[in-house]
Amino acid sequence: MSRAALLVLADGRFPAGGHAHSGGAEAAVKAGRVTGAASLEDFCRGRLHTAGRVAAALAAAAVLGVDPVELDAAADARTPSPALRTAARKLGRQLTRAARATWPSDELDALAREFPKGAHQPVVLGLTARAAGLGAVDAAYCAAYESVSGPASATVRLLSLDPFEATGVLARLAPELDRVADRAVEDARCVVDEGADALPAASAPLLEIGAEVHAGWGVRLFAS
């Protein structure tokens, strides 16, 4: 295993389509819930402990070899908003492409055949980490970090927020990211023994509602 592969995968410039998505930040900005660094931090903290936690556990479970089809169904069940399911599958498909070109593997080929229109992104992320020779905790870190880095960089563009302030938000969340990643690995180990029902099901209703509202807008900067 090369630890540096984690840097490649977690790099915001990894070409897997994330730049076009705001992780709910665009809807929250428009609704007046995110107006600056402080409210961005609240938003990111909420997303980390809900969607981020679930994504991290899904990704870690995929690394541990849990059936991706089972995990994908579990991700669907934990994503009430159809718009968010569509976005997650779109991003999953785009990550599948980037991953297969970057770390060719039979498992990723099989995933592409099973889900030609994309599996949920965290599941693909886990299989990508596996193909890259990374461990469950690495995948959990990537998923948890993406759950907050996406909204932070989107908010820089949406509010012209000072980029140093946005990065400061991410740095302050780092200790919580550690805890979420560790817990996700524990959850994933339970999934190996007990099945996908052991996955966390934390959810943020406002993220789901915001995503549905956002999908109906005629004018927007981000795809989700």
Contact (CB, 8 A) for 56 and 181: yes
Residues 63-122 close enough to bind another protein by CB under 8 A: 90, 93-94, 97-98, 100-106, 109, 112-113, 116
Contact (CB, 8 A) for 49 and 175: no
Residue 22 or 79: which CB sits closer to another protein? Answer: 22
The distance of closest approach from Cβ of residue 8 to another protein in the complex, given in angstroms and rounded to an integer, is 12
Please identify which residue in 20, 64, 198, 215 interacts with another protein, judged by CB under 8 A.
20
Q: Total residues contacting another protein (rule CB under 8 A)?
A: 37
Residue 159 or 206: which CB sits closer to another protein? Answer: 159
The distance of closest approach from Cβ of residue 199 to another protein in the complex, given in angstroms and rounded to an integer, is 27
User: Considering the rule CB under 8 A, would residue 215 count as an interface residue with another protein?
Assistant: no
H helices present in the chain, as ranges: 4-10, 25-30, 37-47, 53-63, 68-77, 82-102, 106-114, 121-131, 136-159, 163-194, 205-215
Task: Let me know if 64 is exposed, middle or buried by CB neighbors in 10 A (0-12, 13-18, 19+).
Answer: middle
> CA distances (Å), 172 to each of 18, 34, 39, 165, 181, in order?
22, 17, 13, 11, 16
User: Considering the rule CB under 8 A, would residue 4 count as an interface residue with another protein?
Assistant: no
Among candidate residues 168, 157, 101, 92, the one with its CA nearest the CA of residue 123: 92
- Region of 13-21, 47-55, 57-65, 161-169 interacting with another protein (CB under 8 A): 13-21
Residue 116 or 175: which CB sits closer to another protein? Answer: 116
Residue 139 or 196: which CB sits closer to another protein? Answer: 139
Give the alpha-carbon dihedral of 144, 145, 151, 154, to 10 degrees: -150
Please identify which residue in 157, 168, 176, 186 interacts with another protein, judged by CB under 8 A.
157
The distance of closest approach from Cβ of residue 195 to another protein in the complex, given in angstroms and rounded to an integer, is 29
Give the alpha-carbon dihedral of 64, 67, 68, 73, to 10 degrees: -120
Which phi and psi (to 5°) does residue 27 adopt? -65, -40
User: Considering the rule CB under 8 A, would residue 219 count as an interface residue with another protein?
Assistant: yes
Please identify which residue in 6, 9, 10, 16 interacts with another protein, judged by CB under 8 A.
16
Residue 5 or 51: which CB sits closer to another protein? Answer: 5
Q: Which residues of this protein are in contact with another protein, per CB under 8 A? A: 13, 15-22, 90, 93-94, 97-98, 100-106, 109, 112-113, 116, 131-133, 154, 157-158, 218-223
